[in-house]
Amino acid sequence: MPLADAFLNEIDQEARTTQRVLERVPEDKLTWKPHPKSHTLGQLAMHVAVAQGFLAGAAAQDVFKFEGRQPAQPKTKKEILDAFANSTAAAKENLKKLDDARLLSEWQGEVNGKKVLSMPRVAFVRAIVMNHTYHHRGQLSVYLRLLEVPVPSIYGPSADENPFA
């Protein structure tokens, strides 16, 4: 099995969970933030929505130039869910183009012309394209808890949802 197939299967599986989390985002709280240094709920949800597609596009390049943009502030939950659908499709399309030799080749990230990351592309896909998204999805679940929104099951039961009961 090609290496990319494992990532593609994982994207399909994790997208269902991410979709459930994003569907819980209350539209009337998109500008809420738990702390002055934090992103708003909407910005964090949008980051979760677009990260995989954006980063899988970065993985397809030999050298990617990071620009340090702030996440967009969405106006509606539909905007977030549509962005997530598009991002998931883009992530899969970009990863399908990476054969094993390409995945095992070196990838590099730069900021202002300075190399800040260098690793095998497969490591970038695992750590940044995949795990980065899960990390922020976890943050989003904490935002939901703070807003008293029922948290969906992610990797097992939550205090609000038990798919095994």
Which domains, from first to last, does the chain contain? Answer: 3-146 (1.20.120.450)
AA identity, residue 86 = N
Rounded to 5 degrees, φ, ψ at 119 are -165, 165
Q: Which helix (H) or strand (E) holds 79?
A: helix 77-96
Residues in Cβ contact with 42 at an 8 Å cutoff, skipping those fewer than 6 apart: 25, 30, 31, 73, 74, 80
**Amino acid 70: pLDDT:** 83
133 neighbors 127 (Cβ within 8 angstroms): no
Rounded distance between C-alpha atoms, residue 80 and residue 85, angstroms: 9
By CB neighbour count within 10 A (0-12 exposed, 13-18 middle, 19+ buried), where does 140 fall? buried
**Amino acid 90: pLDDT:** 97
Over the chain (165 residues), the average pLDDT of each successive run of 10 is 95 97 98 97 98 95 88 96 98 96 96 94 96 97 98 95 88
**Amino acid 164: pLDDT:** 87
**Amino acid 52: pLDDT:** 96
Which of 116, 139, 133, 109 has the alpha carbon at shortest distance from 37? 139
**Amino acid 1: pLDDT:** 86
Rounded distance between C-alpha atoms, residue 121 and residue 91, angstroms: 14
